[in-house]
Amino acid sequence: MELSKYKVIKVPNINHSLSGAELASWLIDSASPQELEELVFMLNQAKKRSSNTKTIFQIAAAALIK
């Protein structure tokens, strides 16, 4: 749900960008259930602190690309 807010997520230092839907499907296919649970936890913590969640997605995308 949170990824649908972003049309484009730029990956820092790589000059690559992904759509939110593309990143979501990629995360679901490649991450374990425990990793997805940790990602959801981090997103919830960021939202509680009114932080930008886009940076979390940028880090996840960079990790998947490398």
pLDDT score of 2 more than 80 = no
Residue 33: the pLDDT is 92
Name the phi and psi angles at 9, rounded to 5: -120, 115
Residue 34: the pLDDT is 95
User: Quick check: 15 and 5 in contact, CB under 8 A?
Assistant: no
User: Quick check: 29 and 44 in contact, CB under 8 A?
Assistant: no
Residue 4: the pLDDT is 78
Residue 52: the pLDDT is 85
The predicted-structure confidence for 5-63, as pLDDT tens digits, reads as follows 878 888 877 788 888 888 888 888 988 999 999 999 999 999 899 888 888 888 888 88
Residue 18: the pLDDT is 85
26 closest CA partner among 5, 13, 48, 9? 9
d(CA 21, CA 64): 15
